[in-house]
Amino acid sequence: MLDKLPHSIDPTLLTRFATIVGDKYAITDPQMQAPYVVERRDMFTGRTPLVLRPGSVAEVAAILKLANETATPIVPQGGNTGLVGGQTPINNEIVLSLNRLDRIREVDPTSNTMTCEAGVTLQRAREAAAAADRLYPQLLPSEGTCTIGGTLSTNAGGTAALAHGVTRAHVLGIEVVLADGRILHDLNKLKKDNTGYDLKNLFIGAEGTLGIVTAAVLRLVPRPRAIETAFVAVPSPEAAVALLTVATERAGGGVTSYELMPRLGLELALRHGSGLRDPLATSHQWYVLIELSSQHTSGLREVIEEVLAQALQRGLVVDAAIADSIEQAKTFWRIREMLGEVQRHAGGSIKHDISVPIAAVPAFLKDAHAAAVALVPGARPMPFGHLGDGNIHYNVLQPDGADKADYLAHWDAMNAAIFAVVKKYGGSISAEHGVGVVKRDLLPLVKDPVALELMKSLKRMLDPKGILNPGKVLARDP
């Protein structure tokens, strides 16, 4: 997908950019550039004359200062795990990779904060917090690759958002390089700061279009002393929602994760995932993976048993297995985490990252299923994800035996059909993956016109020359 003809940058100017970081960290060889220009689902393949890998905030500032002076477009990039094309140099822009900014500047267990640079992977951040007997409460399947800067830029969610919120909820302070090279120093650790506008939230979720995040102060929480995980069969999505109510009434904030899975997803995971087996003796149409956590070392097992027993009496649970070991719990989670990956074995998959109010999820699923199969008879809906916060990955697999390319040609029409159902139930067409390029042109159809104009005004104010991730989130001005 190209917005216009690829942008051409004068070789002399490229040399000036390369000088800022040094030749070792200025990549021009196409083979070495490959990891930076192809995104993980192969939906977008970009082009770039230069990948810059700065090693300091000062170098990032110098790059943007020069880019602003010369109107040179820049695409910032973290771990390149994004799913909407926001990190791809679609029009031959310079790539600014932040993965060398990888220092954990401070862990402060007394204040329950950690200061990380943008290139720190989520896994390293979680390990650093654990070493201080704390938890950084964000968990994504791509934790070994995705970076803190990337999660901030997309306001990533994850499987623990039910209890702890999305990325925005974890950030106390931020350091951002603006389009003109100025640095916003707002790395405070304060829980309370009423000195004017909350500027950090302008940049969280902006996908690098307003400024480039270089560091952040992250909120930590105490590590749980007990965790219980159960793989549960439920008769319907309605029962899954009712079970969530039972669990939250009994365990309160102790419900850490609550994931919905269909039988189709489980079968694909069992077929294509090594070392996996069905956690339950018989097959069922719907499952939930529920995790409870507590600061108490004992008593949590009784809580989850009580929740399941009560739900069983009410007909909300058909069967269940409670993990008896950490390894068994990991196996349950591996099934859930593989649901995105194993779809490629089933052919084409048209994917949607949506959210609706939790109470509306069952009705949404029913109507979305009807819309999908009406558009493509034989299509196989495979909805799964974070039922606890209403975020469903509503993916639709091609019919058995269909041609993949022919099926994927229905992408826009399927989007329109599913998003109409999302709108009906007051939901969002992007829950945690962002807008990028994939949903950019849909934004005017679903966003409040005043909100959209405010977004455009902020873009013009903070990036008047349009150099920061141009064509992402918002369409280019004509």
Average pLDDT of the chain is 95
pLDDT given at position 2: 42
Domain boundary among 203, 222, 241: 222
Asked whether residue 477 is domain-assigned, the answer is no
- pLDDT band of residue 45 (cuts 50, 70, 90) is confident
Nearest to 437 by CA among 90, 72, 78: 90
**Least confident range of 229-233, 240-244, 418-422, 472-476:** 472-476
Residue pair 145/121 in contact by the 8 Å Cβ criterion: yes
**Same-domain pairing of 118 and 218:** yes
Domain boundary among 100, 130, 165: 100
**CA angle, residues 282, 284, 285, in degrees to nearest 5:** 165
Nearest to 458 by CA among 184, 216, 98, 178: 178
Beta-carbon contacts of 154 under 8 Å, excluding residues fewer than 6 positions away, are: 82, 86, 167, 205, 207, 432, 433, 434
> How far from the centroid of its chain's Cα atoms is residue 330's Cα?
21
pLDDT given at position 478: 42
Percent with pLDDT over 90 in the chain = 91
Residue pair 287/231 in contact by the 8 Å Cβ criterion: yes
**Same-domain pairing of 360 and 318:** no
Does residue 52 or residue 433 have the better pLDDT?
52
Phi, psi (deg, nearest 5) at residue 314: -90, 0
pLDDT given at position 1: 39
- pLDDT band of residue 113 (cuts 50, 70, 90) is very high
Distance CA 383, CA 397 (A): 10
The mean per-residue pLDDT over the stretch 232-243 comes to 98
Query: The tokens 């694909």 sit on which residue?
Result: 268
* Cβ neighbours around 31 below 10 Å, total: 7
DSSP assignment letter at 289: E
* Cβ neighbours around 129 below 10 Å, total: 24
**Total domains present in the chain:** 4
399, burial (CB in 10 Å: exposed 0-12, middle 13-18, buried 19+) = middle
**Same-domain pairing of 27 and 55:** yes
Which CATH number is 87's domain given? 3.30.43.10
**Same-domain pairing of 78 and 185:** no
Which CATH number is 235's domain given? 3.30.70.2190
Residue 476 above 50 pLDDT? yes
pLDDT given at position 273: 87
**Same-domain pairing of 244 and 319:** yes
> How far from the centroid of its chain's Cα atoms is residue 387's Cα?
15
* Cβ neighbours around 227 below 10 Å, total: 17
The mean per-residue pLDDT over the stretch 101-121 comes to 98
Asked whether residue 135 is domain-assigned, the answer is yes
10, burial (CB in 10 Å: exposed 0-12, middle 13-18, buried 19+) = exposed
End-to-end CA distance of the chain: 17
Asked whether residue 457 is domain-assigned, the answer is no
Residue pair 422/364 in contact by the 8 Å Cβ criterion: yes
Distance CA 364, CA 376 (A): 18
Consecutive H or E run containing 448: none
Residue pair 80/33 in contact by the 8 Å Cβ criterion: no
Beta-carbon contacts of 195 under 8 Å, excluding residues fewer than 6 positions away, are: none
Asked whether residue 255 is domain-assigned, the answer is yes
Domain boundary among 175, 204, 222: 222
Which CATH number is 356's domain given? 3.30.70.2740
**Same-domain pairing of 216 and 112:** yes
**Same-domain pairing of 244 and 262:** yes
Nearest to 410 by CA among 423, 397, 429: 397
Distance CA 336, CA 258 (A): 11
**Same-domain pairing of 122 and 212:** yes
Asked whether residue 466 is domain-assigned, the answer is no
pLDDT given at position 5: 43
Percent with pLDDT over 70 in the chain = 98
Asked whether residue 444 is domain-assigned, the answer is no
Residue pLDDT, tens place only, 381-419? 999 999 999 999 999 999 999 999 999 999 999 999 999
Residue 3 above 60 pLDDT? no
Which CATH number is 133's domain given? 3.30.465.10
At 4, is the secondary structure helix, strand, or coil?
Answer: coil
Residue 432 in tokens: 């945690």
**Same-domain pairing of 20 and 73:** yes
At 358, is the secondary structure helix, strand, or coil?
Answer: helix
pLDDT given at position 50: 97
**Same-domain pairing of 83 and 118:** no
> How far from the centroid of its chain's Cα atoms is residue 444's Cα?
22
**Same-domain pairing of 412 and 320:** no
Asked whether residue 391 is domain-assigned, the answer is yes
Asked whether residue 401 is domain-assigned, the answer is yes
**Same-domain pairing of 313 and 244:** yes
Domain membership of residue 211 as a residue range? 104-222
